[in-house]
Amino acid sequence: MKHLYNGIATLLQQIPSIRWIDLDTGQLEYFSLRPGVDFPAALIDISYPQCDNIGGTGEQRCSVNINIRLAFEVWSESNMSAPDQVREASLNIYDLINDVKLKLHNRRIITGETLYRVSIASEKREDGIKVFSVNFRTKTTE
């Protein structure tokens, strides 16, 4: 899993607008004044929801889920009454989400497998932080 994390984090580092890349350890949930990250942040979580044995060698073919939580501090307004420049600055969130998709989707990663985006969902929060979970899938043999 470590090699997957390092490979994905290295690709995300190529997106200059991301200011913090880290393993998701609950930084956005467990804080007193503000999370210990710079914004926008990309927090990476990797799971293997299914592994199947391959023959009698001890090797396994595993499905891999990669969740990248993109976190933003929201300071500007996106409503249609806001000035165009203010609204555009607020909607730059979507540009970064697209940059992540362009950097990772259909990309051959360190395992030699291809990474595919499968979903994007926003999280409802009450703390002024906007979070989108961008989910990718791939496979690996270990």
How many domains does the structure of the chain reveal?
A: 1
Whole-prediction pTM value? Answer: 0.89
- Number of Cβ within a 10 Å radius of residue 110: 14
**How do strand 20-23 and strand 41-53 relate by DSSP bridges?**
parallel
pLDDT, tens digit, 9 for 90 and up, residues 40-67: 999 999 999 999 999 888 899 999 999 9
Q: How far apart are CA 99 and CA 40, in angstroms?
A: 13
- Is residue 133 one of the residues assigned to a domain? no
pLDDT of amino acid 55: 83
Q: Give the mean model confidence (pLDDT) for residues 14-25.
A: 96
Q: How far apart are CA 42 and CA 59, in angstroms?
A: 31
Range of the domain at 94: 2-126
Q: How far apart are CA 18 and CA 14, in angstroms?
A: 9
> Looking up tokens 């595919």, which residue turns up?
116
pLDDT of amino acid 80: 74
Q: Give the mean model confidence (pLDDT) for residues 72-96.
A: 79
Q: Give the mean model confidence (pLDDT) for residues 125-139.
A: 92
DSSP category for residue 79: S
- Is residue 142 one of the residues assigned to a domain? no
Residue 64, domain CATH: 3.30.2000
pLDDT of amino acid 64: 96
Please say if the pLDDT value at position 111 is more than 70.
yes
Q: What residues are paired with 43 via a beta bridge?
A: 22, 69
Please say if the pLDDT value at position 73 is more than 90.
no
Amino acid at 118: V
- Is residue 138 one of the residues assigned to a domain? no
- Is residue 39 one of the residues assigned to a domain? yes
- Is residue 83 one of the residues assigned to a domain? yes
Confidence of residue 71 (pLDDT cuts 50, 70, 90): very high
Task: Kindly report the average pLDDT of the chain as a whole number.
Answer: 90
- Is residue 75 one of the residues assigned to a domain? yes
- Is residue 135 one of the residues assigned to a domain? no
Please say if the pLDDT value at position 33 is more than 70.
no
- Is residue 134 one of the residues assigned to a domain? no
